[in-house]
Chain A
Amino acid sequence: MASTLVIPGWEKHKPKPNKDGSPWWARTFRITRVRIVSQVFFFSLFVFLLWCTWFSRLRGYPVSLFLEVDPLVGVATALSTHTVYRWLWRGLFVLVPTLLLGRVFCNWMCPYGTLHQFVGWVFNIWTNKNNIDRNRYRPSYQIKYLILAVFLVMAALGSLQIGLLDPICLLVRTFTTAIAPASDLAHVNLAAALRERMGLDPQPLIFLSSAPGAPEQRIFRGAWFVGLLIVGLVGMNLVIPRFFCRVLCPLGAFLGVLARFAPFRIKRDLSKCTDCNACLRRCEGASDPQAALRKSECFVCFNCIDDCPEDALSFGLGPIEFKDFIVGAPKKGGATLFGKPVISKIPETVKPAPAVPRRRWAFAVLGGVLAYPFLRLSAAVNKRGFNAKAIRPPGSVEESEFLERCIKCDQCIRVCPTNVLQPSTLAEGGLEGLWTPVMNFSVGFCQLNCTLCSEVCPTGAIQKTSLARKLGVGEHAPKGPISVGTAFFDRGRCLPWAMETPCVVCEEVCPVTPKAIGTYEETVTRWDGTKVVLKKPYMRPELCIGCGLCEHECPVLDSPAVYVTAIGETRSQDRSLLLETSRKSKEKS
């Protein structure tokens, strides 16, 4: 009878249960798959929030969320300013899970980590055996802890440099100054091709633009370097997997230090582990899951649990080391742990703290102590020796405080609608101010009714500033408007002054009322005998707010005949120009 039994088609294709008796779907719905979903979600959220960091898309989204939950930002600014600005308490969202579970942030949330893992995965040409070797711990992975120590010491002394390498700051900056403009260049050409070659309306593709409504392609000084840096750092994955995360990342190092307190960790069952090393094949953190797990290196990616053929690895409460409870010598065989035979020849299962010798910590601290004066004494930040072109956005705090707060994330530069905010190069800010925001009026100008940079700044380097405060109206009238600098005329280059040619575009566009640019009228006879009425412009310094619209619109493009320098900025009494503004800055609003 059995031979005549008809088996329906769907029964034939029904997946078979696993060997251990668990249902078939346990193969598909694994924790590593959940992790990938989480990584995709957080990476998409990160890109979405950056996409939203634009005038017409803000709509109240927490666009600086990733920077705010970055606990290194919160801790380092707390060290430098002794305060926790605005939303930086959100760092607890990452801090608390780390104290419980270890460095889950690195492989579940961090968008930069996801990028590295993805690129390393796509371009991985190695065999399994090679991969196992490439994922072994190397002493160079200590470097990130030394970097962290240097940065934290510098922060405590008053120079915040974590932004140079903090992965969130680094990625926001890279998107802002390199990737988004590159993508916009492609979008604009695509739209033009659609419209001109194919007669299609490209308007539906406007969502691809990172800066819709910008009349010109956005440009950023030193974009090549930021771009080169990310290509280099991401490219290093082809040599050492997760190179940045393992070797350089100061946030990873910070979380690694905290991870030693985490009660949860990857546990290795000594009675099952055969020391086959298969767990190393896809180990993201190079955390030695095959031996004594380096908790400070483990990204909690769960790949090792996935890959273990003996089911010897699990994630759970593992507060103590079992080595001391083993009876016998595992290396000789026949040892037991709580009555069970020990198969693995490696009795250690955990190494909680980062493997950095104390003398190296001391060296790094010393490095930080020295780095602070080296950077800070390169240029004075107060009234002496400051750079005339280091013009900070309105609402910025006084320079030495600014350097305690700015994390070089360049969110302000991202949101600036006129492109005037530029990452400082070594020329304006020196090494200490590298990538901090400065204004370049040849590129844009500070729009009168705009305070967007102050809205998105996560650390208060640019304090949240109301429009009334910026303009100095209403209750802020006694203090007057915020001035970021003062405009000057170069009469040797000005068309009416030097060339008997009418102009005064500067007066036309001056946005304050009454206008900060006045004119003298003069009738002159030119070389060819023609009479011309010239309006020759001059500054009314007490009215000038340094917005740079005059400089931006000046037809003498290369070295404008009217130009703004940092003198007279309201944020600094040391740099004030007029007695009048000195008095005003002391007024209470």
Chain B
Amino acid sequence: MSEAEHARLSRRQVLRQVAGVAAGTAAAGLLAWRLHDPTGERGKPAEPELSLPQGGYAVEPSTVLPALGVATGQSVAALVKGAVDAIGGMGRFVHRGDVVVIKPNVAFERAAALGATTNPEVLRALVTLVREAGAREVRVADNPIESPEACFVRSGVQRAAVEAGATVYLPTPRDFRTLAVPGATWIARWPFFHRPFVGATKVIGVSPVKDHNLCRASMTTKNWYGLLGGRRNQFHQDIHGIIADLALMMRPTLVILDATRVLFRSGPTGGSLSDVRPGNTVVASTDSLAADAFGWHELLDRRSEPLPAYFEKSAARGLGKPDWKSQHVKRVQVG
């Protein structure tokens, strides 16, 4: 700065400059103080944790109604209605204004006839029943193993759901939140497909009856696998423990065992019609262990073999009664 310019600096200018620098320093200091993170903990992302409602989505247990409703016959719509009616009808489970999440098994990109996914006609009948019972909204959701869109389209579930008036929820990258499952061995905190559950009041699982390479049978309890994200491929290291955790995680309103077809070998993927036999049966229950045990004995026809270990593990937690024979089973024959 030349002497001449120096001479021109007025007192006011000097004061203004000094005040400006002081204010800037103070603001920077304040900001640093507000953002200060001495341990490095504050900078870590806060992970919001999610909980499902206390007691899950179950309705009041009944002492008079049958524990299992088993419908046999040809007409799929009548099978679903018959099975649900046998345990009290849809009116027992879904009331006017309910928001219902239905979880089919759409894990693989397979045509419905191959039995690896929930029969879309069963889903259609179920969505219709739920809507007729007064549900405000029906959401169909699953997190498949293969490409979600393709799985939903190829299996026919997409079309059946939409035509029956449900909304399909496919998983997108931001749809998973950590779910707290108190008491679970492995999945006490695990990424959960939460978007369909925002505001949901009832949850219905509807799964096919499938052979499974590791846990021997994949039915309504194993079906909740499709609500989880994250490193699911670690689950096989204790598959029975995981299924017992799944039973703990989700206390559904109702489960439907879709045995219109039975994938009796090469499960859970199948892929050949020779792996599938007609079952012509639909089972409804509030107890997924009872329904699955029924499926093991009567539908997979494995009476001579002991139940897979996950039944006992889940039952030990008081999550159901695999001993279906000692319970009230109502069998109906429909058209």
Q: Are A and B part of the same complex?
A: yes
Q: Do B270 and A513 have beta carbons less than 8 Å apart? A: yes
Interface residue? B51 (CB, 8 A): no
**Interchain residue pairs with CB less than 8 A apart (15):** A189-B174, A212-B149, A213-B148, A213-B149, A215-B143, A215-B170, A417-B149, A418-B147, A448-B109, A502-B239, A503-B236, A505-B236, A513-B272, A515-B269, A553-B233
Q: Quick one: which of B40-87 are within 8 Å of A by CB?
A: none
Q: Among the listed B110, B147, B237, which residue makes an inter-chain contact with A417, where contact means beta carbons less than 8 Å apart?
A: B147
Residues of chain A contacted by B270 (CB below 8 angstroms)? 513
Distance (whole angstroms) from the CB of A515 to the closest CB of chain B = 6
Q: A508 to B154, Cβ gap below 8 A? A: no
Give the CA-CA distance A352 to B112 in the complex, in Å: 64
Rounded to whole angstroms, the CA-CA distance of A251 and B153 in the bound complex is 40
Q: Chain B contacts of A554 at CB under 8 A? A: 233
Contact B173 A447 (CB under 8 A): no
Residues 545-561 of A at the B interface (beta carbon under 8 Å) = 549, 553-555
What chain A residues lie within 8 Å of B236 (beta carbons)?
Answer: 502-505, 508, 555
Q: Which residues of A contact B268 (CB under 8 A)?
A: 508
Q: Which residues of B contact A418 (CB under 8 A)?
A: 146-147
Q: How far is the CB of A211 from chain B (nearest CB, A)?
A: 9
Contacts of B271 in A (CB 8 A): 448, 511-513
Cβ contact within 8 Å between B172 and A553: no
Q: Report the separation of the CA atoms of residues A507 and B239 in the bound assembly, to the nearest whole angstrom.
A: 14
Residues of A within 8 A of B214 (CB): 502, 504, 507-508, 535
Does the CB pair B173–A216 fall under 8 Å? Answer: yes
| Contact flags A527-568 to B (C-beta < 8 A → 1, else 0) | 000000001000000000000010001110000000000000
CA distance A472 to B268 in the complex (A): 22
User: Measured between C-beta atoms, what is the minimum distance from B127 to chain A in Å?
Assistant: 19
The answer to whether B213 and A495 have CB atoms under 8 Å apart is: no
A449 touches B109 (CB 8 A): yes
A183 in the interface, Cβ–Cβ < 8 Å? no
B280 within 8 A of A: no
Task: Say which residue of B172, B213, B233 sits within 8 Å of A507 (CB atoms).
Answer: B213
For the complex formed, measure the closest distance between the CB of B266 and the CB atoms of chain A, giving whole angstroms. 5
Query: Known pairs A213-B172, A555-B234. 4 more at Cβ < 8 A?
Result: A417-B147, A418-B147, A447-B147, A505-B233
Q: B316 at interface (Cβ–Cβ under 8 A)?
A: no
**Contact indicator A508/B213 (Cβ below 8 Å):** yes
How far is B312's CA from A366's CA once the two chains are assembled, in angstroms? 77
Tell me the complex Cα distance, A191–B152, Å. Answer: 22
In the complex, are the beta carbons of B146 and A447 less than 8 A apart?
yes
Which residue of B has the minimal Cβ distance to A503? B236
Q: Whole-angstrom distance between the alpha carbons of A447 and B107 in the complex?
A: 13
Q: Residue of A at shortest CB range from B48? A: A196
Within 8 Å CB of B239, what residues of A? 502
Q: Is the CB of B148 within 8 A of A502?
A: no
- The proximity string for A residues 64-88 relative to B, scoring 1 for CB distances below 8 Å and 0 otherwise, is 0000000000000000000000000
Contact between B172 and A191, CB atoms less than 8 A apart? yes
For the complex, what is the distance from the CA of A55 to the CA of B154, rounded to whole Å? 11
Name the CB-closest residue of A to B274.
A513
**In the complex, per-residue mask of A203-247: 1 if CB is within 8 Å of any chain B CB, else 0:** 000000000111111000000000000000000000000000000
User: Which of B236, B269, B270 has the largest count of A CB atoms less than 10 A from its CB?
Assistant: B236
Report which of B152, B170, B195, B269 forms a contact with A508, defined as CB distance below 8 A: B269
CB neighbours (8 Å) of A510 from chain B are: 269
> Taking the complex as formed, is A188 at the interface, i.e. its CB lies under 8 A from any CB of chain B?
yes
Distance, CA A511 to CA B145, complexed state (A): 11
Q: Distance in Å from the Cβ of B192 to the closest Cβ of chain A?
A: 14
Complex CA–CA separation, A350 to B2 (angstroms)? 63
Q: Which residues of B contact A117 (CB under 8 A)?
A: none
* Chain A residue with the shortest CB-CB distance to B267: A508
Q: Which 9 residue pairs of A and B lie closest in terms of their CB atoms, listed nearest first?
A: A213-B149, A513-B271, A192-B174, A417-B147, A513-B272, A555-B233, A215-B171, A213-B170, A505-B233
Determine if B12 is an interface residue (Cβ-Cβ < 8 Å).
no
**B6 interfacial by beta-carbon distance below 8 Å:** no
Q: Give the shortest distance, in Å, between B235 (CB) and chain A (any CB).
A: 8
Asked if B319 lies at the interface with its beta carbon under 8 angstroms from chain A, I say no
Q: Which residues of B contact A509 (CB under 8 A)?
A: 145, 269
B147 touches A55 (CB 8 A): yes
CB-CB under 8 A from A502, the residues of chain B are: 214, 236-239
Question: Are the CB atoms of B147 and A213 closer together than 8 Å?
Answer: yes
Q: What residues of chain B lie closer than 8 Å to A214, measured between beta carbons?
A: 147-149, 172-173
| Residues of chain B at interface, number, CB under 8 A | 36
Complex-state Cα separation, A515 to B268, whole angstroms: 11
Cβ–Cβ contact A503 & B147, under 8 A: no
CB distance from B52 to the nearest CB of A (A): 18
Is B231 among interface residues, defined by CB-CB distance under 8 A? yes
Closest to B240 in A: A502
CB neighbours of B108 from chain A (8 A)? 511
Closest-by-CB residue of A relative to B273 is A513
Can you name the residue of chain B whose Cβ is closest to the Cβ of A215? B171
Closest to A203 in B: B167
**Closest residue to A519 on the B side, CB-wise?**
B213
A495 CA / B146 CA spacing, docked (Å):
23
Distance A217 CA – B237 CA, assembled complex (angstroms): 27
Q: Is A501 an interface residue (CB 8 A)?
A: yes
Give per-residue flags for B142-173: 1 if the beta carbon is below 8 A from chain A beta carbons, else 0.
01011111101110000000000000001111
Given the complex of chains A and B, what is the CA–CA distance between A150 and B231 in angstroms? 49
| Closest residue of B by beta carbon distance from A510 | B269
Tell me if A56 and B153 are in contact (CB < 8 A). Answer: yes
Query: Which residues of chain A are near B212, meaning CB under 8 Å?
Result: 508
Kindly list chain B residues whose C-beta atoms are within 8 Å of the C-beta of A512: 271
Q: Which B197-216 residues have C-beta < 8 A from chain A?
A: 212-214
Contact between B173 and A217, CB atoms less than 8 A apart: yes
Are B149's CB and A553's CB within 8 A? no
Q: Which residues of A contact B213 (CB under 8 A)?
A: 504, 507-508, 515, 519, 535
Nearest Cβ on chain A to B47's Cβ, whole angstroms: 14
CB proximity to B under 8 Å, residues A477-511 = 495, 501-505, 507-511
**Which B residues from 108 to 125 make CB contacts under 8 A with A?**
108-110
| B170: chain A residues within 8 A (beta carbon) | 212-213, 215
| A385 adjacent to chain B (CB < 8 Å) | no
Contacts of B233 in A (CB 8 A): 505, 553-555
B238 shortest CB reach to chain A, Å: 7
Contacts of A450 in B (CB 8 A): 109, 147, 150
Q: Is A514 an interface residue, CB under 8 A from the partner?
A: yes
A504 CB contacts on chain B under 8 angstroms: 213-214, 236
- The residue of chain A having its C-beta at the shortest distance from the C-beta of B212 within the complex is A508
Which of A191, A215, A515, A553 is within 8 Å of B266, CB to CB? A515
Interface centre among B110, B271, B272 (most CB of A within 10 A): B271
B residues within 8 A CB of A449? 109-110, 150, 154
Please report the C-alpha to C-alpha distance between residue A195 and residue B174 in the assembled complex, in whole angstroms: 10
Q: Are A513 and B269 in contact (CB under 8 A)?
A: yes
B234 / chain A contacts, CB cutoff of 8 Å: 555
Pair B150/A215 contact, Cβ less than 8 Å: no
The 8 Å CB contact of B150, one of A212, A417, A501, A519, is A417
CB-contact partner of A555 in B143, B148, B152, B231, under 8 A: B231
Min distance, Cβ B108 to any Cβ of chain A, angstroms: 7
- The docked-state distance in angstroms from the alpha carbon of A418 to that of B213 is 24
* Contact indicator A513/B266 (Cβ below 8 Å): yes
Cβ < 8 Å to B, chain A residues 362-380: none
Q: What is the distance, in angstroms, from A420's C-beta to the closest C-beta of chain B?
A: 10
> A192: which B residues are within 8 A, CB to CB?
174
Is the CB–CB distance between A215 and B148 below 8 Å? Answer: yes
Q: Looking at the assembled complex, report how far the CB atom of A199 sits from the nearest CB atom of chain B, in whole angstroms.
A: 10
Q: How far is the CA of A501 from the CA of B239 in the complex (A)?
A: 11
What CA separation (Å) do A212 and B272 show in the bound complex? Answer: 30
In the complex where A501-B237, A505-B233 touch, is A188 in contact with B147 (Cβ < 8 A)?
no
| CB-contacts of B264-299 with A (<8 A) | 266, 268-272, 275
Q: Which residues of B contact A445 (CB under 8 A)?
A: 146
- The 0/1 profile, CB within 8 Å of A marked 1, for residues 125-152 of chain B is 0000000000000000001011111101
Shortest distance in angstroms between B90's beta carbon and chain A's nearest beta carbon? Answer: 27
Q: Are A511 and B269 in contact (CB under 8 A)?
A: yes
- How far is A553 from B108 in the complex, measured between Cα atoms in Å? 13
